[in-house]
């Protein structure tokens, strides 16, 4: 039998062992909780984490006529430039939206348009930058809403009926400036909104380099968080594909992402192998269609219809139900900085077939956005 001193030593060792084991378990639990907390915090900081499902529903619906023709309701929006200032209201700027019906025959070989002159809507805003505002540059249906962007203030508006509600503000370049982003095109990719600018270096009116701010793209989530992405390399690859290098340039105002092709589609406004000048730019319209793989490693191009040096693409959309083969596009024309006319055309880019030759829209306005509603 052990003596009392031995019993005391055994009890002391047992208590010490139990205490040490408990400490190790506690330390392990604390470490696990810390790791879990850090992982959770990082995931919560990701813009795409735990967000509600993207609303992929469209505002417009195809109507099938008795003869098999396909009918769609469309809207177009104006960029009135300096004329957007309201003629009588001191602190108000405006833009117009027009409504029409696009009809494509059963065989998808011909198209026609009918405009509703009684359905014009005026949109107003009192938010301006440098005394200018509501120079709306594109239309897109995103997360169940019709959006447009003002290329003067960088504000994206939600359009509901006859109202334009400011949603988010985009600043220029990498997001570290106080100047509004001159957004020219918008498209939806994988549930996010992509907003782009002119896609060329910002220069003086005589072509002297200033910065690369227009060569940045904004990725906007449905919740409105913004990521600034440099597309300098991507834009340079596009112009190289058609044999253009700096100081030559391409101006982009109409870009779409095709979920069906998983490719980027570009219909540029203007292109030139010469340096940019304000005077010469108005006669450098293009008829290019560029199609780029998702990572821009492969770029192909073709020419759509006859070239008119005064006209260039300002917006386009894929016609619903055509597997992104048929495009409806706007072209615009300016002289001495003032709009001369806008045109609309429909074509099958795979077959190179024109369903509707360029038809002028009413008025001496510059239309820069089109959408199906």
Q: What is the pLDDT along the chain (373 residues), one digit of tens a residue?
A: 555 555 544 454 554 454 555 666 766 667 677 666 666 555 544 554 556 899 999 999 999 999 999 999 999 999 999 899 999 999 999 999 999 999 999 999 999 999 998 899 999 999 999 999 999 999 999 999 999 999 999 999 999 999 999 999 999 999 999 999 999 999 999 999 999 999 999 999 999 999 999 999 999 999 999 999 999 999 999 999 999 999 999 999 999 999 999 999 999 999 999 999 998 999 999 999 999 999 999 999 999 999 999 999 999 999 999 999 999 999 999 999 888 999 999 999 999 999 999 999 988 899 999 999 9
Q: How far is CA 41 from CA 27, 35, 221, 261, in A?
A: 21, 10, 19, 36
Indicate whether 69 and 108 sit together in one domain. Answer: yes
Instruction: Please give the backbone phi and psi of residue 247, each rounded to the nearest 5 degrees, phi first.
Output: -85, 10
Residue-range definition of the domain harbouring residue 319: 63-372
Residue 58, number of CB atoms within 10 A of its CB = 13
Identify whether 93 is part of a domain: yes
| Residue 39, phi-psi category: left (phi > 0), alpha (psi -120 to 50), beta (remainder) | alpha
One domain, residues 151 and 264 = yes
Q: Which among 319, 253, 312, 370 has a CA at the least distance from the CA of 71?
A: 319
How many Cβ atoms from other residues are within 10 Å of residue 59's Cβ? 13
3 state DSSP class of 238: helix
State the pTM of this model: 0.86
Detail the residues annotated as belonging to a binding site for Ca(2+).
137-138, 184, 253, 314, 368
CB 307 within 8 A of CB 288: no
Backbone angles phi, psi at 151, to 5 degrees: -80, 0
Based on the fold, state whether residues 99 and 23 are members of the same structural domain: no
Q: Tell me: do 2 and 129 sit in the same domain.
A: no
Which residues lie closer than 8 Å to 258 by C-beta, 6 or more apart? 264, 265, 318, 324
Give, in order, the Cα–Cα distances in Å from 222 to each of 160, 204, 225, 371.
Answer: 17, 35, 8, 19
C-alpha 346/C-alpha 267 separation (Å) is 13
pLDDT of 10 reads 45
Number of separate domains in the chain: 2
Beta bridge partners of 122: 96
- Where is the binding site, in residues? 137-138, 184, 253, 314, 368
Residue 357 in any domain: the answer is yes
Domain membership of residue 58 (yes or no) is: no
Identify whether residues 82 and 22 lie together within a single domain: no
Instruction: Tell whether 312 is covered by a domain.
Output: yes
CA 286, CA 307: separation in Å to the nearest integer? 6
Residues 90 and 33 in one domain: no
Instruction: For residues 104 and 156, state if they share a domain.
Output: yes
Integer CA distances (angstroms), 75 to 46, 123, 348, 367, in order: 35, 13, 21, 10
Whether residue 254 is contained in a domain is answered as yes
Residues 74, 294, 169: CA angle, nearest 5 degrees: 55
Give the pLDDT score at 49. 53
Q: Which helix (H) or strand (E) holds 237?
A: helix 232-241
* Residue 50 domain flag: no
Q: Are residues 151 and 258 in the same domain?
A: yes
Residues 6+ apart with CB under 8 A from 170: 149, 154, 155, 156, 180, 181, 183, 195, 218, 220, 226
């Amino acid at each position: 039998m052990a003596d009392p001193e031995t019993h005391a030593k055994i009890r002391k060792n047992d208590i010490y062992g139990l205490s040490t084991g408990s400490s190790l378990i506690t330390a392990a639990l604390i470490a696990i909780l810390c790791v879990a907390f850090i992982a959770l915090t990082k995931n919560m900081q990701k813009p795409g984490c735990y967000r509600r499902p993207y609303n992929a529903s469209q505002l417009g619906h195809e109507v099938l006529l008795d003869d098999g023709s396909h009918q769609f309701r469309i809207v177009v929006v104006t960029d009135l430039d300096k004329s957007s200032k309201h003629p009588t209201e001191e602190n108000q700027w405006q833009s117009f939206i027009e409504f029409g019906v696009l009809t494509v025959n059963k065989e998808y070989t011909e198209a026609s348009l009918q405009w509703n002159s009684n359905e014009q809507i005026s949109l107003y805003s009192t938010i301006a930058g440098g005394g200018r505002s509501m120079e709306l540059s594109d239309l897109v249906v995103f997360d169940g809403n019709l959006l447009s962007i003002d290329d003067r203030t960088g504000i994206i508006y939600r359009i509901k009926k006859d109202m334009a509600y400011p949603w988010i503000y985009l600043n220029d370049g990498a997001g570290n400036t106080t100047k509004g982003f001159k957004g020219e095109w918008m498209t939806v990719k994988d549930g996010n909104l992509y907003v782009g600018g002119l896609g060329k270096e910002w220069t003086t009116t005589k072509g002297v380099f200033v910065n690369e701010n227009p060569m940045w793209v904004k990725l906007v989530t449905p919740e409105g968080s913004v990521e600034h992405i440099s597309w300098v390399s991507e834009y340079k690859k596009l112009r190289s594909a058609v044999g253009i290098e700096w100081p030559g340039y391409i101006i982009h105002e109409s870009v779409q992402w095709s979920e069906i092709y998983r490719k980027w589609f570009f219909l540029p406004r203007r292109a030139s192998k010469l340096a940019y000048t304000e005077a010469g730019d108005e006669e450098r319209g293009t008829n290019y269609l560029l199609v780029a793989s998702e990572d821009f490693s492969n770029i192909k191009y073709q020419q759509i219809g006859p070239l008119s040096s005064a006209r260039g693409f300002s917006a386009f959309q894929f016609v619903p139900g055509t597997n992104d083969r048929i495009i409806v596009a706007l072209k615009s024309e300016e002289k001495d900085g003032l709009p001369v006319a806008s045109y609309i055309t429909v074509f099958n880019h795979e077959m190179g077939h024109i369903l509707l030759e360029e038809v002028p829209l009413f008025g001496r306005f510059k239309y820069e956005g089109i959408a199906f509603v």
